[in-house]
Structure 1
Amino acid sequence: MTRIRRTAVAAVLTLVLPLPVIAAGTALAAPVSEHSAAVSDPYGLHPELPRPTGPHAVGREILHLVDTHRQDPWVPSAGLRQLMVSMYYPARPGTGRPAPYMTVEAAQDMLQLKLPGTTIPAEAVSGTRTWARSDARPEHGRFPLVMLSPGFTMPRTELTSLAEDLASRGYVVALVDHTYENSGTTFPDGQTLTCTICDTPPAGGPGVIAESRAKDISFVIDQLTSRHHPAWQYARMIDARRIGMAGHSLGGDAAVTTMAADKRVRAGVNLDGTMFAPVPATGLGGRPFLLVSHDQGGGEDPTWTSGWANLDGWKRWLIVSGSNHASFTDVPVLAEALGIPEPPGTTISAQRSVQITRTYVGAFFDLHLRGIPEPVLDGPSAADPEVSFHP
């Protein structure tokens, strides 16, 4: 089955909204203020992301990065490629202020594009409660870096819960918005750039998009790990020897293309993404890779079957029963809070799907970036009966 589909499952996916943080200009990199982003929810609906499971408090800072060596691949007239990146990191408790999920304006744009005519108030989505704290003081020490890439048409907001949890477990996380590939990316000048390729993908199809994302990710890694002028004020927290990547849907495919092109990425996770850009026949240099799938259609994907043999390092293919394409994102939590039914065949609860995603993605990176044994990855567990291991 193709995991970039825009069917009934995609209708639920539309609840994922872009994080309202922005930046425009000529600077190579700049942090973005979030003071104006906090909103209230006068309608009494208060979606709340599940509490992170790790021992650390979580900080968040927003960066605007400009690639001075690359034109935008989708809108050449726009000039240089510009990206918005949310940085999540282990923080000192009691510092910073609540980090907003998104602005009301960004939520309105998303709802109008994805659910025209909906009666869901934008405030109900923009007011989603998160656990990160804006501009919180960082913890001491150095931590592995995990890059996150969202699904096609989806802004980075869809992976907020996973990003917060990884940071709470002791990772620095860079959650990347891929401009012109999602419903809207807002920049500091107030301009929101919408998706130019969502309805008409470029020649070469989704695989070309995944390859472009690999360039985005490598550029962000360059900026975060530069020895002389890193783009992030807390770059000293990053252990550049331990970098991983995870993505949902097309973002999962981008994890493959990124690892194929950039040997700095030591481990990868594909959350239910068809591999339009296949695993290279030469493999990934023995680096580990985790596949996580919903079980509709038996959890099979021909591109995974063909790519499996080319994954030449540690590998696992997990199937989560009762899940759907959106189950590995924030979408089920928001849908449940707003009274929107899940797609037919979905039996797993929102809280449970988040728990499983966090458990297995976190365990994977603990094992391969930190060397911590994780028996949960060895085989089926009585604690997680929904998770089966593909032969």
Structure 2
Amino acid sequence: MQRSVITLLLVLPIACNGGGTSSGTGTETGTGPGTGTGTTTESTGGETPTTGTTSPPVTTTTATASEPTSGDPTTGPTSTTATTDGPDTTTAATTDDSTTGEPAGDVYDPDEDGPWQYDDLAGEIDVDGEAIGVTAHYPTSGPEEGPYPVVLLAHGFNLPPTQYTNYATRLASHGYVVVNVDHAGYLFGPVDHVANANQLLAGLDWAAGHPELGPISDVDNAGATGHSLGGKISVLAAMYDARIKAAITLDPIDGANMCPNMQACPDVSGLLPIAIPLGFLGETLDTAGFMACAPAAENFTTFYAEAGPPALQVTVNGANHMSFLDDVASCGITCSFCQMPTLENAVVNELARAYVVAYYGRYLRGNAGYDTYLTGAEAQQRYVDPGLVTIAEK
């Protein structure tokens, strides 16, 4: 069917998340290919967690080359150059809300701002001739000096990076250097998810070489978080670059809508598992129906089904595909095609921010004290018991 510009606008719910035909299939929580056995624990509001048996993948794919390439995860790096603007003077409010945790360090409540003050600066990177904007939020003072773990942020298709600023500022206040990358994932640009992943990874090189960020950035201990298409390319980036040690994504979609070929838009869930912790937050309101925003055959559960342990799946009950943005009310037409959520945008955004902070506290800082906020007592009390989420882990 030929598509006019008007038609393209009508398919925004699919284009927005990179949806379309993919080789992934809808899978029940906790199952995956292979012949081994494992244990998957699910928690639901008002119920006692149950234990089932799953079949995790037999093979393990490790992260490959330390720098990305366009089109092939096993070959050399892309060429990048960077120019930057100076930092501004914005400073976050801080909090004393912390408790002494495991020997690895203190545990700070991820649902509150952490004890670090932070600043931000903007720049631009040239990645294979494409000008990619970047904004960094970084700690300036706090209970520990750097270098700090680095977290890459990837926006959803046709969505601005500014819709994820809440995640950046919360992470920076907990002692992370956050690079929010404006990759070329927009409606009227070329559709190339491999190129988008390389653009995201260029943020690590930019941070490492930046005079302000370089001395405080531990780019060899990095995470990747994205929403929708950004979630897919975050996992893809982790496959390309061993510097990424963990990834937690927000309603990722493993689609290939309007892609020229599968080389440009690979079936990422089909390439799992990889040898790093993976977390997936998602929803089920937008998984069915005409032009679903998050089709069941490509949604977050397909990533979790193929991921090896440790892996975490958090289903946010009552959220829709766009609920993970900072402010849906300012999103405009791009957000107007998804199902109406029954859970407030602010509630989902706060919950998701807390999970992202807790996940990186656990897997980039190696502090097991954050388990209580992921699957333990605090998660049960705050999210599971009130019926906000269902949790599965393996």
Shorter-chain TM-score category? 0.5 to 0.7
The verdict on how the C-alpha distance between 1:308 and 1:358 changes in structure 2, with shifts beyond 3 A counting, is closer
- Give the number of the structure with larger relative contact order, counting CA–CA contacts within 8 Å between residues 6 or more apart: 2
Letter in 1 for 2:117: A
The verdict on how the C-alpha distance between 1:308 and 1:5 changes in structure 2, with shifts beyond 3 A counting, is farther
Identity %: 25
Matches within 5 A, 1:319-330: 319-330=315-326
Q: Tell me how large the CA RMSD over aligned residues is.
A: 3.4
The correspondence for 1:56, drawn from 116, 119, 124, is 116
The correspondence for 1:289, drawn from 278, 282, 301, is 278
Q: Does 1:377 align with 2:374?
A: yes
2:37 is aligned to none
What are structure 2's unaligned runs of at least 5 residues? Answer: 1-9, 17-79, 89-110, 256-265, 288-293
The verdict on how the C-alpha distance between 1:178 and 1:261 changes in structure 2, with shifts beyond 3 A counting, is same
- The Cα shift of 1:291 comes to 0.8
Task: Output one character per residue of 1:359-388: Cα deviation in whole Å (capped at 9) or x when no partner.
Answer: 111111110000112222226612113011
- What's the TM-score, normalizing by structure 1? 0.62
Judge conservation of contact 1:279–1:311 (CA < 8 Å) in 2.
Answer: no
1:352 is aligned to 347
Judge conservation of contact 1:163–1:173 (CA < 8 Å) in 2.
Answer: yes
Task: Output one character per residue of 1:69-90: Cα deviation in whole Å (capped at 9) or x when no partner.
Answer: x2xxxxxxxxx12211001011
1:164 is aligned to 169
The verdict on how the C-alpha distance between 1:282 and 1:250 changes in structure 2, with shifts beyond 3 A counting, is closer
The correspondence for 1:154, drawn from 131, 153, 159, is 159
The correspondence for 2:84, drawn from 31, 43, 59, is 31
The correspondence for 1:218, drawn from 196, 201, 212, is 201
The correspondence for 2:136, drawn from 70, 84, 87, is 87
Matches within 5 A, 1:252-331: 252-276=231-255, 277-279=266-268, 283-296=272-285, 301-303=296-298, 304-331=300-327
Task: Output one character per residue of 1:99-148: Cα deviation in whole Å (capped at 9) or x when no partner.
Answer: xxxxxxxxxxxxxxxxxxxxxxxxxxxxxxxxxxxxxxx98421100000
Judge conservation of contact 2:183–2:200 (CA < 8 Å) in 1.
Answer: no
- What is the CA–CA distance in structure 2 between the aligned matches of 1:250 and 1:271, rounded to whole Å? 9
- What is the CA–CA distance in structure 2 between the aligned matches of 1:265 and 1:173, rounded to whole Å? 13
1:389 is aligned to 391
- What's the TM-score, normalizing by structure 2? 0.61
- What is the CA–CA distance in structure 2 between the aligned matches of 1:140 and 1:377, rounded to whole Å? 26
The verdict on how the C-alpha distance between 1:196 and 1:341 changes in structure 2, with shifts beyond 3 A counting, is closer
Q: What number of residue pairs does the alignment pair up?
A: 274
- What is the CA–CA distance in structure 2 between the aligned matches of 1:320 and 1:87, rounded to whole Å? 28
- The Cα shift of 1:352 comes to 1.4
Instruction: Please list every run of at least 4 consecutive aligned residues from structure 1 whose deviation after the TM superposition is greater than 6 angstroms.
Output: 340-343
Matches within 5 A, 1:36-185: 53-67=113-127, 70=128, 80-92=129-141, 140-179=145-184, 181-182=185-186
Judge conservation of contact 1:286–1:314 (CA < 8 Å) in 2.
Answer: no
Q: 258-267 vs 373-382, which deviates more?
A: 373-382
2:65 is aligned to none
Judge conservation of contact 1:52–1:168 (CA < 8 Å) in 2.
Answer: no
Judge conservation of contact 1:332–1:342 (CA < 8 Å) in 2.
Answer: no
- What is the CA–CA distance in structure 2 between the aligned matches of 1:283 and 1:335, rounded to whole Å? 32
Letter in 2 for 1:389: I
Judge conservation of contact 1:54–1:165 (CA < 8 Å) in 2.
Answer: yes
